[in-house]
Amino acid sequence: MAEHRVIGKSVLRQDAVDKVTGAARFVDDIQFGPTLLHVKILRSPHPHARIISVDTAAAEKVPGVKAIVTGRDCRQHVGLYLADRTVYATDRVRFVGEPVAGVAADTVLAASEAVSLIKVEYEPLPGVFDPVSGALGKEVLVHDAPAASDLWWQGLSCITTKTPGTILHEHLGEYTCAPFIHPVPGTNISNHFKLRKGDIAQGFAAADVIVENVFTLPHIQHSQIEPHVAVANVDRSGKVTVWASSQSPNAVRKLIATAFELPMSKIRVITPYVGGGFGGKAGLTCEALVVPLALRLPGYHVKLALTREEVFQGTFVRQGLVARLKTGADKNGRLVAMEAELFWDGGAYTEYGVNITRSGGYCSSGPYEIPNIKTDSYCVYTNHPVGGPMRGFGMPEIHWGIEQQMDILAEKLGRDPLAFRRQNALREGSLAAFGGPMRGATLVDTIDAVAAKSGWGGPKPPASAPHKVRGRGIACMYKAPSMPANAQSSAILKINEDGTVHVLTTAMEIGQGSLTALGQIAAEELGVSADMVTVNLPDTDYTPYEWQTVASRISYSAGNAVLAAARDAKAQLLAVAAQVLDIPAADLVIEDGQIFARANPARKLAVSDVAMGYLLPEGAIGGPVIGRGSFIPAGITGLDKETGQGDCPAPFWTYGTQVADIELDTGTGEITVHKVTAAYEVGKVINPAMCKGQVQGGIVQGLGSALYEHLVLSEGQFRNSDFVDYKIPTATDTPEMDIILLETSPQADGPFGAKGIAEPTMVPTAPAIANAVYDATGVRILDLPLSAEKVLAALKQKQTREG
Amino acid sequence: MKTVTMLVNGRPEKLTLEPHRTLLDVLREDLGLTGAKRGCEAGECGACTVILNGRPVNSCLVLAVELDGAEVLTIEGLGGPASLDPLQQSFVDNFALQCGYCTPGMILMGKALLARNPHPSEDEVKEYISGNLCRCTGYENIVKAIMAVAAGGERIG
Tens of pLDDT, residues A524-560: 999 999 999 999 999 999 999 999 999 999 999 999 9
Say whether both B56 and B106 belong to one domain: no
> pLDDT by residue (tens digit) across A462-500?
999 999 999 999 999 999 999 899 999 999 999 999 999
Contacts of A516 (CB under 8 A, 6+ apart): A11, A12, A13, A14, A15, A530, A535, A687, A690
- Mutation for testing the B interface, residue in A13, A17, A21 having most B CBs under 10 Å: A21
Q: How far apart are the first and last CA of chain B?
A: 49
Nearest to A42 by CA among A27, A30, A58, A28: A58
CA distance B32 to A665: 49
The radius of gyration of chain A from alpha carbons, rounded to an integer in Å, stands at 27
Say whether both B90 and B61 belong to one domain: no
pLDDT band of residue A165 (cuts 50, 70, 90) is confident
> Are A25 and B34 inside 8 Å of each other by CB?
yes
> pLDDT by residue (tens digit) across A45-102?
999 999 999 999 999 999 999 999 999 988 999 999 999 999 999 999 999 999 999 9
> Are B135 and A697 inside 8 Å of each other by CB?
yes
> Are A273 and B44 inside 8 Å of each other by CB?
no
Sheet with B11-17: strands ordered across: B11-17, B2-8, B71-73, B49-52, B55-58
Half-sphere exposure of A714 (CA within 13 A, CB side): 4
Look at residue B112 and tell me if it is in a domain: yes
Q: Residues A191, A192, A198, A204: what is their CA dihedral angle, to the nearest 10 degrees?
A: 130
β-partners of residue A216 are A322, A783
- Mutation for testing the B interface, residue in A14, A225, A734 having most B CBs under 10 Å: A225
In B, which residues are within 8 Å of A511 by CB distance? Answer: 97-100, 136
* Among the partner residues A20, A223, A273, nearest to B91 by beta-carbon distance: A20
Name the residue in chain A with its Cα closest to that of B44. Answer: A723
Tell me, what's the pLDDT at A141? 45
Tell whether B18 lies on the interface with A, counting CB pairs under 8 A: no
Angle between helices B103-116 and B86-93 (to 10 degrees): 130
Say whether both B65 and B118 belong to one domain: no
In A, which residues are within 8 Å of B74 by CB distance? Answer: 22
Contact A758, A686 (CB under 8 A): no
Domain containing residue B119: 86-151
> pLDDT by residue (tens digit) across A281-292?
999 999 999 999
Mean pLDDT of chain A: 96
CA distance A114 to A62: 6
Contact A395, A655 (CB under 8 A): no
Nearest to A230 by CA among A292, A139, A303: A303
Pure H helices in A125-233:
131-136, 200-205
pLDDT band of residue A148 (cuts 50, 70, 90) is low
Nearest to A567 by CA among A628, A632, A495, A633: A628
- Mutation for testing the B interface, residue in A17, A18, A20, A732 having most B CBs under 10 Å: A20
Burial of A126 (0-12, 13-18, 19+ CB in 10 A): middle
Q: What is the DSSP string of A705-766?
A: HHHT----EETTEES--STTTS----GGGPPEEEEEEE-SS--TTSGGG----TTGGGTTHH
In A, which residues are within 8 Å of B39 by CB distance? Answer: 225-227, 308
> Are A278 and B135 inside 8 Å of each other by CB?
yes
> Are B139 and A731 inside 8 Å of each other by CB?
yes
Say whether both B36 and B90 belong to one domain: no
pLDDT band of residue A140 (cuts 50, 70, 90) is very low
The radius of gyration of chain B from alpha carbons, rounded to an integer in Å, stands at 16
* Among the partner residues B28, B45, B137, nearest to A696 by beta-carbon distance: B137
pLDDT band of residue B153 (cuts 50, 70, 90) is low
Say whether both B71 and B28 belong to one domain: yes
Say whether both B117 and B90 belong to one domain: yes
Task: Answer whether residue B154 shows pLDDT above 50.
Answer: no
Name the residue in chain B with its Cα closest to that of A36. Answer: B29
* Among the partner residues B45, B95, B135, nearest to A13 by beta-carbon distance: B95
End-of-domain residue from the set B31, B60, B77: B77
Residue A65 in 3-state DSSP? strand
CA distance B99 to A272: 11
Half-sphere exposure of A278 (CA within 13 A, CB side): 31
Q: Residues A431, A432, A438, A441: what is their CA dihedral angle, to the nearest 10 degrees?
A: -110
Tell me, what's the pLDDT at A149? 63
> Are A275 and B104 inside 8 Å of each other by CB?
no
Name the residue in chain A with its Cα closest to that of B86. Answer: A20
> pLDDT by residue (tens digit) across B92-128?
999 999 999 999 999 999 999 999 999 999 999 999 9
Q: Which residue has the higher pLDDT, A358 or B154?
A: A358
> Are A21 and B97 inside 8 Å of each other by CB?
no
Tell me, what's the pLDDT at A443? 98
Name the residue in chain B with its Cα closest to that of A509. Answer: B99
Phi and psi at residue A684, to the nearest 5°? -155, 130
CB neighbourhood size of A265 (10 A): 10
Tell me, what's the pLDDT at A247? 98
> pLDDT by residue (tens digit) across A192-236?
999 999 999 999 999 999 999 999 999 999 999 999 999 999 999
Total count of residues recorded for chain B: 157
Å between B145 CA and nearest CA of chain A? 12
Q: Which residue type does A265 have?
A: S
In A, which residues are within 8 Å of B144 by CB distance? Answer: none
Catalytic residues of A: 759
Say whether both B22 and B66 belong to one domain: yes
* Among the partner residues B32, B125, B135, nearest to A223 by beta-carbon distance: B135
Contacts of A304 (CB under 8 A, 6+ apart): A38, A39, A40, A41, A102, A229, A230, A231, A286, A289, A290
Å between A484 CA and nearest CA of chain B? 27
CATH code for position B65: 3.10.20.30
Look at residue B156 and tell me if it is in a domain: no
End-of-domain residue from the set B28, B57, B77: B77
CA distance A637 to A165: 36
Å between B154 CA and nearest CA of chain A? 23
Strands A267-270 and A240-244, sheet pairing: parallel
Tell me, what's the pLDDT at A153? 80
- Mutation for testing the A interface, residue in B29, B51, B140, B146 having most A CBs under 10 Å: B140
Say whether both B6 and B51 belong to one domain: yes
CA distance A537 to A506: 7
> Are B95 and A690 inside 8 Å of each other by CB?
yes
Tell me, what's the pLDDT at A143? 40
A464 to A378, A470, A493, A664, A675: CA distances (angstroms): 45, 9, 57, 10, 15
Tell whether B103 lies on the interface with A, counting CB pairs under 8 A: yes
CA distance A419 to A335: 13
Name the residue in chain A with its Cα closest to that of B81. Answer: A17
β-partners of residue A662 are A471, A673
CATH code for position B114: 1.10.150.120
* Among the partner residues A17, A274, A698, nearest to B99 by beta-carbon distance: A274
Pure H helices in A586-646:
607-610
> Are A697 and B138 inside 8 Å of each other by CB?
yes
Å between A558 CA and nearest CA of chain B? 19
CA distance A747 to A766: 28
In B, which residues are within 8 Å of A20 by CB distance? Answer: 75, 84, 88-89, 91-92, 97, 103-104, 107
End-of-domain residue from the set B21, B53, B77: B77
> Are B137 and A737 inside 8 Å of each other by CB?
no
- pTM, whole model, 2 decimals? 0.97
B89-110 b/e (C-beta count within 10 Å ≥ 16 → b): bbbbbbbbbbbbbbbbbbbbbb
In B, which residues are within 8 Å of A26 by CB distance? Answer: 34, 37, 101
* Among the partner residues A222, A224, A731, nearest to B143 by beta-carbon distance: A731
Say whether both B43 and B96 belong to one domain: no
Look at residue B157 and tell me if it is in a domain: no
> Are B99 and A226 inside 8 Å of each other by CB?
yes
Look at residue B59 and tell me if it is in a domain: yes
Chain centroid offset of residue A669 CA: 31
Put simply, the chain B residues between 116 and 135 with a CB less than 8 A from any chain A CB are 125-127, 129-135
* Rounded mean pLDDT, A795-801: 94
Question: Taking CB atoms and an 8 Å cut-off, how many pairs form between chains A and B?
Answer: 175
Q: Residues A32, B31, A227, A119: what is their CA dihedral angle, to the nearest 10 degrees?
A: -70
Task: Answer whether residue A341 shows pLDDT above 80.
Answer: yes
Q: What is the DSSP string of A355-411?
A: HHHHHHHHTTT-SB--SEEEEEEEEEE-SSSPEE--TTTTHHHHHHHHHHHHHHHHH
- Mutation for testing the A interface, residue in B107, B135, B141, B143 having most A CBs under 10 Å: B135
* Rounded mean pLDDT, B21-38: 98
Say whether both B68 and B10 belong to one domain: yes
Give the percent of chain A with pLDDT over 70: 98
Say whether both B6 and B72 belong to one domain: yes
Residue A781 in 3-state DSSP? coil
* Rounded mean pLDDT, A6-23: 98
Name the residue in chain B with its Cα closest to that of A310. Answer: B40
Tell whether B26 lies on the interface with A, counting CB pairs under 8 A: no
Residue A413 in 3-state DSSP? helix
A83-114 b/e (C-beta count within 10 Å ≥ 16 → b): bbbbbbbbebbbbbbbbbbbbbbbeeebbebb
Tell me, what's the pLDDT at A157? 83
Å between A33 CA and nearest CA of chain B? 10
This model of the complex carries an ipTM of: 0.97
> pLDDT by residue (tens digit) across A260-308?
999 999 999 999 999 999 999 999 999 999 999 999 999 999 999 999 9
Task: Answer whether residue A156 shows pLDDT above 90.
Answer: no
Look at residue B36 and tell me if it is in a domain: yes
Half-sphere exposure of A18 (CA within 13 A, CB side): 14
Element (H, E) at A597: strand A594-597
Element (H, E) at A18: helix A16-21
Task: Answer whether residue A683 shows pLDDT above 70.
Answer: yes
Domain count within chain B? 2
A353 to A253, A307, A389, A779: CA distances (angstroms): 20, 24, 7, 33
Å between B156 CA and nearest CA of chain A? 24
> pLDDT by residue (tens digit) across A588-633?
999 999 999 999 999 999 999 999 999 999 999 999 999 999 999 9
Å between A486 CA and nearest CA of chain B? 28
A176-206 b/e (C-beta count within 10 Å ≥ 16 → b): ebbebbbbeeebbbbbbbbbbbbebeebbeb
Tell me, what's the pLDDT at A161? 83
Say whether both B40 and B22 belong to one domain: yes
pLDDT band of residue A152 (cuts 50, 70, 90) is confident
Report the 3 state secondary structure along A93-151.
ECCCCCEEEEEEECCHHHHHHHHHHCEEEEEECCCCCCHHHHHHHHHHHCCCCCCHHHH
Put simply, the chain B residues between 31 and 90 with a CB less than 8 A from any chain A CB are 32-42, 44-45, 47, 74-76, 78-81, 84, 88-89
In A, which residues are within 8 Å of B102 by CB distance? Answer: 225
Angle CA(A348)–CA(A151)–CA(A641) in degrees, nearest 5?
55
Task: Answer whether residue B157 shows pLDDT above 50.
Answer: no
Name the residue in chain A with its Cα closest to that of B136. Answer: A697
